[in-house]
Amino acid sequence: MKPKVIVYKKVDPKILEFVQQTCEVVYFEELDSNTYPAFFQELVNADGILGSRLKVYADLLDKAPQLKIVSNMSVGYDNLDIAALTARGVMATNTPEVLNDTVADTIMGLILASARRIPELDQWVRAGQWKSELKEQWYGVDVHHKVLGIIGMGGVGTTVAKRAHCGFDMEILYHNRSRNMAAEEKYGATYCSMEELLKNSDFVCLLTPLTPETENLIGKREFGLMKKSAIFINASRGKTVDEEELIKALQTGEIAGAGLDVFVQEPINMDNPLLSMKNVVTLPHIGSATYETRFQMAMTAATNLVSGLKGDTPANLIK
């Protein structure tokens, strides 16, 4: 008998066909108040689940006594309680590497958009404000030859460093749990303390996973250490930053601007002050959201799922 799996995110039909070769698939394009009851019903005898963002904690695992593998279709896995999964002998996998280039492109987009004020000026042109030669008040700041500080020099961080160093002649500072010799050798990145990085960077880019250690990693003290001209970029998770302190730092001119792909609450509340700040560029968590990369992520997640259910060790087993 084929193992039973639930795919709870919209994926390309080719992904479903691949999984169906070895598994019986129950498919939900998304989980919402309409589909949750059926999802929980199917969970009772599911061997595997594939999707993203679902909080897989002990309470959910209690409803899934047969579960053998949780295949997360993202590299970040702060939605999984790894200790609870391990205690029950359930494998968990993620999708690293395949998204590095796309996420790094998004981050360069945020850096350029905030430094050169692209969304703000787009609005200005469309509003019919471009009536004479551009005045100094609309100038931006250069990105090339500036200092980029990367906190969390892993797969995505290294790929951002490559673009920034090779394409924009930027000087790279980084802070990480351990030295990244490849980034140092290939992209001239310099390892430094968090404090040094914050004091000396023109752009501070946060790329750590969300863990108990990194929750609110950047707050009042850290914004206070940054240059007043600094632009803060966050594409990790909203909770790695104290969002209230970010808002204050932007309001008081402690920093010059921000480019944000992630927020404490997603989708963002329309009354979030960040949305009314001209010096903030906001994106709806689109880091990896291209057709090509989402397909690769889904195929990686499907391959992990099938491999785990066949009794092999999945390539991206979270340890």
Of the two residues 217 and 230, which places its CB atom closer to ligand NAI in the complex? 217
Residues contributing to the site for ligand NAI (CB under 6 A): 75-76, 96, 99, 103, 151-157, 175-177, 207-210, 213-214, 235-237, 261-262, 285, 287-288
Which residue, chain included where needed, has tokens 């500036």? 146
The answer to whether residue 196 is catalytic is no
**Of these partners, ligand NAI, ligand 3PY, none, which one is at the site of residue 177 (CB under 5 to 8 Å by kind)?**
ligand NAI
Bridge partners, residue 190, by sequence:
173
The answer to whether residue 237 is catalytic is yes
Binding ligand 3PY by CB under 6 A: which of 25, 39, 69, 74? 74
CA–CA distance, 201 with 220 (Å, rounded to integer): 17
* Contact status: 238 vs ligand 3PY (CB under 6 A): no
Q: 3-state class of 7 per DSSP?
A: strand
Please report, as residue ranges, which positions from 282 to 311 form the binding site for ligand 3PY (by CB under 6 A).
287-288
Q: 3-state class of 24 per DSSP?
A: strand
Q: How far is the CB of 5 from ligand NAI (least distance, A)?
A: 24
Q: How far is the CB of 87 from ligand 3PY (least distance, A)?
A: 24
Scanning the chain, the segments in alpha helix (DSSP H) are 13-20, 36-43, 58-62, 82-87, 100-115, 118-126, 155-162, 168, 181-187, 194-200, 220-225, 243-251, 291-309
Residue 243: what are its φ and ψ, rounded to 5°? -65, -35
Residue showing the smallest CB distance to ligand NAI in the complex? 154
Q: Which residues contact 75 (CB under 8 A, 6 or more apart)?
A: 94, 95, 96, 99, 155, 156
The answer to whether residue 145 is catalytic is no
**Active-site option among 237, 243, 245, 294:** 237
Binding site for ligand 3PY (CB under 6 A): 74-76, 99, 287-288
- The catalytic site residues sit at 237, 266, 285
